[in-house]
Every structure is written in structure tokens, then in C-alpha cells.
Amino acid sequence: MAATSAVKLNATSWIAQQPFNQRTGSASFSPSARRVSVVRAGSYSDELVKTAKTIASPGRGILAIDESNATCGKRLASIGLDNTEVNRQAYRQLLLTTPGLGEYISGAIMFEETLYQSTTDGKKMVDCLIEQNIVPGIKVDKGLVPLPGSNNESWCQGLDGLASRSAEYYNQGARFAKWRTVVSIPCGPSALAVKEAAWGLARYAAISQDNGLVPIVEPEILLDGDHSIDRTLEVAEKVWSEVFYYLAQNNVMFEGILLKPSMVTPGAEHKEKASPETVAKYTLTMLKRRVPPAVPGIMFLSGGQSEMEATLNLNAMNQTPNPWHVSFSYARALQNTVLKTWQGLPENVDAAKQSLLVRAKANSLAQLGKYTAEGESDDAKKGMFVKGYTY
């Protein structure tokens, strides 16, 4: 079932995929760059397309529960629980065994521990998802480390051994993957950091597709800073231009990927907040300038926005038709109220599951452009931005 599909680019889209020249502010060309290569996704081509379309299905989005053990520990500590495997299992079991979750959630990103875990009654976590038509996913990067030669920026590690790990994850039931790298506006971003982020994402995407996993491409532009929304737009366009240039160079099949971008907003410390309509206008402008319509789905990250803010912004982006499925891949913006409701108490499990359904349904409606904020709780309105947040 080896599938190949030639990439045909017009002049405009080809220019958009050229690496940004930091000094001249223009695209640069070389004779060899003019040669258009053939995209290959190997024997998994048809399956990748099917998986991506399943995740990008109407009214559904992604539940991200792939926090590292250390980060999950911080979440548990916020409700007075120790960071033990038993407590992490109890919390993730609560989330993944919520009845009716598959009506609003199409995919769940897990940490490696959860992928191999079972519930307390012996059912595999993966099977809990599959029974509700939720596609199991897996975080495959190994975290951020300082990038030498940069302006105090980071790069994402994890390419070593990724092919063999991806094959193992596939055998365990995972069908899509996530790799998160970050770009910091207050730190520049430097050309080196942008190129490193884009290249790492492209290599990861190619390796994932070669092993049957749909790659989620996530260069998170951090909310940290006091910059304007126009500055965020400028950086986002530069970053996504580089990302798609290197995705094409690595023969990644665009029909078999999903994107997880940041929304285009002002920095968290900017003096003026942007309305949902403004965020939608700037974000969709960026996407239409940089993302080919062959990409099936745009699954936004919440990035520290409040639960309600993330939902309102998503809803505003779905007021008119888009070339792609525009949806969500939220962690804190789906889980914050759940944690506060649960408090680690068995008698609160059912109420916590209900609060997850409330948030999932709200974002499902936002994906359809039908959400209203009527009846939202005060907790849903509280921002969750943490300066220098690590995942």
C-alpha cells in the first residue's frame, strides 16, 4: 500500500515555504531548492489519512493528558495529593472512563506511563478510549533543554531512538503522536531557535508517519511577554513558514498531519487584552497565509488562557467556513475545573466526570460555532497563565 502523492506548488505557496532571511526579511532561493520532491508516507499512507480525518471530525477535539510525571505532580499538589503512580492512575482513569466523552473528544494524548497503564479493574487505558471511538495518542518528545548559541532559548530533544519507540507505541495502540517545542518572543526569537524548532518538528513528523503515527506539529509560541498582537502575528508567520518549508523538505505528507498552533494573541503581560473576534481575525489571517488546505485539522492549544477564554476564541474562529477543521487540543482548559471538583476524593469522581463533559461539550459547540458563555462558572473564567511554564 505504498502511497506517493506529488506535491504541486504554485508560486505564492512556494514562496511561503522558503526559509525566512533574518537580515533582509525576504525569502531566499537556491537552484536546488526549486526542485520539487515527492511526498512519501510509506505503507501507512491510507491509514494516516483516515486517522487524521477521524480526529478532525465535526464537533470533536483532543483531550491532552500528556503532562510529564513532574508536571502531573504539580497538578495533583494543587489539590493536596502526593505525586505517586497510584494517584496519577486514579486521575487519568477518571478522565478516560467518563461515559459519553467520545461524543465530544476524538483523540486523547497520553504520557508513556498512561499508554501502558490499566484501570484499577484491569482494563487497558487504550481500550477505554477505543470503546468510545477516541483515537489514542502519545507524547514522544523528551522535553526542552537550553539551546547553545541562542538568546537563552530552548530546543526539543527526543529524535534519538524515536523510530523504534514509535513502532512500539503503534503496537501498544497509539495512532497519533505529539512533539511540543516552543518559541519565545521576549527572547527574540533568534533565527537559530526558529530553524531548530522547525527542523526538529519536521524530522519527528517524517519518522512518525513512517511508523504509522499521525504527527501533531506543535511549535508553541509562548504567551510570555508584553508584546502586541501584531508582533505575535509577525513571529507566528515566520515560524510557520519555516515549519512548512522543512516539512516539505522531509517529504511529510500534509494530508496525514495535524497542527497544534498557539492562537495569535497579545503577550500575557500586554496592557490590552484582545477580544475573541480580534483573536479570530489575526489567527485565521496567519493560518490562511501559511497553512495549505491539504492539512486536515488545526487543533489549538490553550496556552494558559482561562477555560472560557479558550472556548470563546475557538468559537469566534468557527463563525465562517474554514479550509480545515478548526478545533481544540486542550489540557488545562479542559481539566482545571475537573481537578478542583475531584479533590482526590472517591465520592467526587462522578461530579468530576460531569464537569469534564461540561467543558468538552462547550468546546464541541465552539468547534461548530454554536457556543455561548451563558451559565459559565467563576472557575471557568479564571486565567491559568504561568510565566515560564514547563510541560
**Cα–Cα dist 112/58, whole Å:** 28
Q: What is the CATH number of domain 44-371?
A: 3.20.20.70
Give the pLDDT mean for 225-245.
96
Q: Residue 328 pairs with which residues in a beta bridge?
A: 300
**Cα–Cα dist 146/152, whole Å:** 7
* Digit-coded pLDDT (tens) for 260-286: 999 999 988 898 989 999 999 999 999
Helix or strand (DSSP H, E) at 217: strand 214-221
Q: What pLDDT does residue 386 have?
A: 45
Q: If 0-12 CB within 10 Å is exposed, 13-18 middle and 19+ buried, where does residue 115 land?
A: buried
Q: What pLDDT does residue 24 have?
A: 39
Q: What pLDDT does residue 17 have?
A: 44
Count, residues in the chain: 391
Residue 33, Cα to own-chain centre: how many angstroms? Answer: 29
Q: ∠ CA(328), CA(331), CA(336), 5° rounding?
A: 120
| Global model pTM greater than 0.75 | yes
**Cα–Cα dist 88/82, whole Å:** 9
38-40/135-139 β-pairing = unpaired
Q: What pLDDT does residue 376 have?
A: 62
Q: Which residue numbers are catalytic?
A: 218, 260
* Digit-coded pLDDT (tens) for 310-355: 999 999 999 999 999 999 999 989 999 999 999 999 999 999 999 9
CB 298 within 8 A of CB 324: yes
Q: Residue 330 pairs with which residues in a beta bridge?
A: 63
The H-assigned helical ranges of 58-111 are 69-77, 85-96
Q: Residue 121 pairs with which residues in a beta bridge?
A: none
**Cα–Cα dist 329/167, whole Å:** 24
Q: What pLDDT does residue 377 have?
A: 58
| 3-state DSSP assignment of residue 294 | coil
* Chain position carrying cell 477505554: 128
Beta-strand runs (E) in 76-157:
105-110, 135-139, 144-146, 154-156
- In a 13 Å sphere around the CA of 213, the CA atoms on its Cβ side amount to 32
- Which residues does 184 contact at the CB level (< 8 Å), separation at least 6? 153, 154, 193, 222, 224, 225
pLDDT exceeds cutoff 70 at 86: yes
The answer to which of 5-9, 26-30, 121-125, 374-378 has the lowest mean pLDDT is: 5-9
* Digit-coded pLDDT (tens) for 126-169: 999 999 999 999 999 999 999 999 999 999 999 999 999 999 99
pLDDT exceeds cutoff 80 at 380: no
CB 170 within 8 A of CB 215: no
CB 368 within 8 A of CB 58: yes
* Digit-coded pLDDT (tens) for 19-45: 444 433 444 444 444 444 455 556 899
* Digit-coded pLDDT (tens) for 289-322: 999 999 999 999 987 788 899 999 999 999 999 9
Residues of the chain above pLDDT 70, percent: 85
Q: Count the Cβ atoms, other than its own, within 10 Å of residue 171.
A: 10
Question: Closest Cα to residue 309, out of 284, 330, 288?
Answer: 330
pLDDT exceeds cutoff 50 at 12: no
pLDDT exceeds cutoff 90 at 3: no
- In a 13 Å sphere around the CA of 377, the CA atoms on its Cβ side amount to 12
**Cα–Cα dist 237/355, whole Å:** 36
Q: What pLDDT does residue 268 have?
A: 83
pLDDT exceeds cutoff 70 at 379: no
Q: What pLDDT does residue 385 have?
A: 41
Q: Position 133: which residue type?
A: N
Peptide bond into 146 cis (omega under 30): no
pLDDT exceeds cutoff 90 at 193: yes
Residues of the chain above pLDDT 90, percent: 79
Q: What pLDDT does residue 52 have?
A: 98
